[in-house]
Structures are given as C-alpha cells and as structure tokens.
Chains A and B, each alone.
Chain A
C-alpha cells in the first residue's frame, strides 16, 4: 500500500529538486559570454537607452540580489519579460506548453495503444521467423534518430508526394476563437499528422518490447494452460487472460517515458517548425533571450520531475504487491 510518509518525503524531494534545477539554471545563464546585454546588439542604441534597460531589468544589482528577486518572482510564477518579444514570459511559455503537449500526448496515446497490441502479437508468435524479423525491424526503427526520421518522412510525404505541409501548426490565415476549435480543426490535424507519425515510430518501440517480454513471462503461468485446456480460442487466451496481466509495466512506463520524452521534443519541434516549448528554448538560447530559455528549461524539468513522481505513486496503486518506502 501507499505509505503516507513516503509520499510526503517524495513530495519534499520533488520541490527541492525543482528548486535546485532553477538555481543551477540561474547561475549557468549568468555565465553566458557577452553578458545579459548580448541580446541587445543594436549598435545605434544610445548609451542612455542601454542604461535604461539595464536599470529596468535590474542587471546592475549584485548577483545574490538578482537571484533572490528572481526566486521570489518564480514562486509567484512570474518569469519576467522576454528580451526578444518584450512581453510576459509566463503567458508565452504557457502557450508553447499547450502546443507541445497537444503534439506529444497524441503521439503517446497512439504509440502505446499500437505498441501494446503489436507487442502482445509478437510475444504470442515467439520463436517463429516472423517474430525474429519483427524484432529486427523494431530494433532498427528504435535506433533511428528521431530528427532524421522526421527529415525522411518530410522528404517522402511533403517534398516528393506533396501530401502534407512541411511544418508549422496552422495554415496561413487560419484563426480560431477558442482553444477547442484550434485543436479540433481539420487544419490542425493536417499539420499534426506527420510529426505525430514520426514520434510514433520512435515511441512505439518501448511499450512494444516491454509488452512482449512481459507476455513471455505470463505465458509460462499455469492459468494460461488452464485457459487453453478449456478450449478457448487463442485470441481469447491472448487478450483476455495473458495480455491483461502483462500490461502493468507498460502503464508505469507511460508516465516515466512522458517525463523523459519531454526533453527530446526539442528535436521534433525543430524539424517540423512546431511552436512548442523545446523549439522556443532553442531559439531563446540562440538569441540570448534567457528569461525565456530559463523558464522553458525550468518547465521542462518540472514536467520530468512530476512525471517521475507520478510513475512511482501509480506503481504502488496499480500493483498491490509493490510496497515502497517500507524497507
């Protein structure tokens, strides 16, 4: 069962981790060559205007005071103003976060459904030539760098066949009044198809391999023999008796994998010019817009840390045999 003290300790650790990550980031970004003003490279900017900006952002204060002010603001979810866009970082980052999640969650749900199904099938036909070929194919696809898969997919479907747009999230001139309208429109589906397909080629591997391995374990249990002896169809034995018991680790892998995948979103968003959190972070780094880069990185870390926590807790709920924190 879930131990309350364990959860409290994990929560405390989670907060501490986020705090440390944000601190490391703050000090790392102060080391950028050229200093914080490198974003403002306009040579015609007068000395007075330069001073005004330095004053406005408080860049003259000693480092520890800047750090204190930053942390106090962060606790209030205020990440300051973007050097590049000039408006609030929080609203920008929230918008990018929604875009990232819309792409990633779609890909995850499809990958885990397909992967679980295919994994069960592969485990069922173990030992056959078909299974061995299937495994080689899975390992190969899983070894492909995801940004390269994206380029190849774009080459085939956009450049050669002209079926899909080469990037972006909406067509020119498209505008939506509500969030729901934006993410349910055909224009969105048209733009999301290739990135989701690319992500799926990569994400499907893990649930597939996990499912196959677990199924192999489950198939040696005696209740499977019983089910077969009852004369059930092999389909029924596989999906009702075996797969159900093999699916548990796949469920927890889902949460952990979301956490890890968030960092890799940077690549797919760059390939498909998807206006997400990762791409924003890369561009902000290249533009020395570090309020944005810092906030984007912090949010990515928070997602990773939260997902690890969720995975740990979910595990104890789903499998009563596991008990954490009582050793």
Chain B
C-alpha cells in the first residue's frame, strides 16, 4: 500500500517537473474547429485525449500544468506544518511553565478559526493568490501537529539521557535539537504527509469558490470553471480528471505517511 502511495506521489511529482515541456497546447490556447468556430466542449479525441473546455482550451494541457500548483502547495504546506508545528511543540513541551501555557492557549484560540472561511477573508482582503492559501495553511494547520509533538516531548524530556545531557551542561538548544528532535521526527513526518493532502484540497477548495488566481491553471480553477459554466452536467471529461488527480495525490501522500510510520514504529505492523 505504501509503495503504491509512493508511486502515485512520485508520478505526479515528475509530471509537475516536466509538464511545461510536454504539454501539447498552451493552457489558454484556443482550439478551433475546421470551420473556424471554437472547439467548445468537444469530447475526447486522439488530438485532445481529454477533450476541450467551454472556451475551447485543451483539458489535458491544463491538467498537466495543474499538477505544478498542487505539488507546490502540497510540499510547501507540509513543510510549513512540519517546521512550525515541530518547533512550537518542542519549545512548549521542553520549557513548560508559562511559555507552554501561552503557546497552548494561542493554539486553542486559533482552533476557533474555521479554515476555508478564513482563507476567503484573506483572499477578499489581500486579493486572490496562492500565497493566501499557503499563509492560511501555515497559520492554521500546524495546531494539531504542535499539540501532538508537545505531548510526545513531555515524555521524551523525562528520559535519563536528557537528564544526563543536562547534567553534562548541554545548552537548551543542544538538548532540543540533538536529544529530543530525533525522537519526534517520525511523528512530524506523519503529520507532514497528511498536511500534503490537506493543503492540496484546501487550495482546490478555495480556487473552486472563486478565490484562486484564475490566470494560473490549477485543478481547483479547472473545476471552478466547469462548475460556474454549468458544463459539468455534460462534460465529464472536464471534471473527472482534475478531481481524480486530487483524490489520488491526497490518498498517495496519506499512504506514504502511514507506511513511514509503520517502518519506524514496528509495533504497528502487528495489527
């Protein structure tokens, strides 16, 4: 299962890298019929394996280019979640006391902000762009990671080797990075893998609602166009590919995360 997940993720990663060189048409290059009219909503043919959109654009080209935004948002989102969540969790768990109290209450408060509505507010205020989504992910998705890492750190810091390091005069920074961090890396990796999926779905959702950047072809923007033109009631070739791609990447990333967790935590394998 984990191998299948890895293959899916790698496949889309490769697509994201090479897509600008292999797309048969420009994402917004209008296709014309023989009689000179727009090739609007044409079902799949050999020349256009996934058909065309209502404006006569090639669906396959948009789909391939869309993988770039998805992978970019997914990886950056996961990175932010892992880095912020792990740092906050380790600092709060290791120092304890008022630092822990302040940080965890902040986490509680941020939990009260519903994600998609919050990104909509950001997009209304600062204009539609991918960065709003990244910012939203960075601001709101590290919360559960931080909570889990913190409680893990609470047990790790009681272990004898941490005490030994303290007795040997190691600095707080050294204890946190050398002695505690390696113990919580598997957990943050799992949460990062889940965050890949969350970020991609978040980006697609926000774009679907019309708060994405329409100039950049992404899977969410494709679905939004298919929806607002009501073409999705007819053009399945336009809606199925981007949605299926999102589903596969999200599932693939999740399987990779689970697989990695099983490798580093053999107890899970018995179940």
Residue in A13, A144, A262, A308 whose beta carbon sits within 8 Å of that of B247 in the complex: A144
In the complex, which residues of chain B have a beta carbon less than 8 angstroms from the beta carbon of A286? 124, 210
What DSSP secondary structure best describes chain B's contact surface? helix
On whether the beta carbons of A304 and B111 are closer than 8 Å, the reply is yes
Q: Given the interface contacts A266-B209, A304-B114, does A154 sit within 8 Å of B124 by beta carbon?
A: no
Residue in B108, B123, B242 whose beta carbon sits within 8 Å of that of A17 in the complex: B108
| Most chain A beta-carbon neighbours within 10 Å: one of B117, B118, B205 | B117
How many residues from B make CB contacts under 8 Å with A?
46
B113 within 8 A of A: yes
A301 to B116, CA, bound (A): 11
- Chain B proximity of A289: nearest CB distance (Å): 11
In the complex formed, the residue of A with least CB distance to B111 is A308
On whether the beta carbons of A155 and B209 are closer than 8 Å, the reply is no
On whether the beta carbons of B250 and A143 are closer than 8 Å, the reply is yes
On whether the beta carbons of B112 and A304 are closer than 8 Å, the reply is yes
On whether the beta carbons of B209 and A301 are closer than 8 Å, the reply is no
A31 to B270, CA, bound (A): 55
Number of interchain pairs (Cβ within 8 Å): 138
A240 within 8 A of B: no
In the complex formed, the residue of B with least CB distance to A302 is B112
On whether the beta carbons of B117 and A143 are closer than 8 Å, the reply is no
On whether the beta carbons of B246 and A145 are closer than 8 Å, the reply is yes
A21 within 8 A of B: yes
Q: Given the interface contacts A144-B247, A155-B233, A293-B124, does A18 sit within 8 Å of B112 by beta carbon?
A: yes
On whether the beta carbons of A158 and B209 are closer than 8 Å, the reply is no
Report the contact-size class of chain A (Cβ under 8 Å from the partner). Answer: 35 or more
A143 to B243, CA, bound (A): 10
Which A256-304 residues have C-beta < 8 A from chain B?
260, 262-264, 266-267, 270-271, 278, 281-282, 285-286, 288, 293, 296-297, 300-301, 304
The 4 closest A-B pairs by CB, nearest first: A263-B114, A159-B233, A148-B243, A143-B251
A positions within 8 Å CB-CB of B:
13, 16-18, 20-21, 25, 28-29, 31-33, 136, 139-140, 143-145, 147-149, 151-152, 154-155, 158-159, 166, 216, 260, 262-264, 266-267, 270-271, 278, 281-282, 285-286, 288, 293, 296-297, 300-301, 304-305, 308
25 A-B interface contacts by CB (under 8 A)? A13-B105, A13-B109, A21-B112, A28-B122, A29-B121, A33-B127, A140-B247, A144-B247, A147-B208, A148-B246, A149-B243, A151-B227, A155-B236, A159-B232, A159-B234, A166-B233, A262-B114, A263-B114, A263-B115, A263-B116, A271-B227, A282-B209, A285-B123, A300-B114, A304-B113
